[in-house]
Amino acid sequence: MRAQLARVDAVLVQALIAAALSFAHIHDIASAAGQDGWKAWAYPVSVDLLLVAAWRRLRSGEAKASGWCWFVIALAASLGANVATAGLLDLDQVPAWLRILVAGWPAVAFLGGTLLAHSTPTTKPANDTELIEDQEDAPEPTPEPPAQPAIEAPPERPAVPVPAALVDHARKVATEHHTRTGIPIDTPTLRARLGVPEPMAEAIAAQL
């Protein structure tokens, strides 16, 4: 635990030293470019905040192109100020192009910070697990009942020719049966009395 704390403390100390040096270098460049007073101290704050905002956007995984763009811009401003104070630039005679860059930096930083902080995040598509859960929650379709086969009507029997004399005889038999029993004669009885096949008996009964 102590070794871990010592390692963390060393990293924090190193980060604080680097931040302080970079902060001072940007302040010196801004002051040399004509930004005196509190304005010179606001420049390093602006650069560092833009770096942090771009880094957070990169860590979030959204709009990486925008995050990398503003991260490179802020890093170039910080690195350029650090290199410029290494004796390569006469801070007493700052060139006009550097004064223009320093004067225009607030607008650039404001634009970058606004875009990074208020850009609309892209919506992520639903993952496979959500799709599977939606499919499981969906009601199963009700199977349709099997279609009933059409019932075909039985074929009609061909008409059986009945002699007229047989029909007259059947009428007499039917009359005699009705007189004796009081009920009309049925087809089986008529068939038995006449001794004819069933189709012919039905044909005769239809003509009575």
Residue 125 above 60 pLDDT? no
Tracing tokens 């910080």 back to the chain, one arrives at 78
Confidence category of residue 82, pLDDT binned at 50, 70, 90 = confident
| Domain spans, the chain | 2-118, 164-207
Q: What percent of the chain is predicted at pLDDT more than 70?
A: 76
- Contact criterion met (CB below 8 Å) for 109 and 67: no
Distance from CA of residue 11 to its chain's centroid?
Answer: 44
Please measure the distance between the N-terminal and C-terminal CA atoms of the chain and give it in whole angstroms. Answer: 119
DSSP string, 87-141: IIS-TTS--HHHHHHHHHHHHHHHHHHHHHHHPPPPPPPP-HHHHHHHHHHSPPP
Alpha-carbon distance of 93 to 27, in angstroms, equals: 16
Residue 136 above 80 pLDDT? no
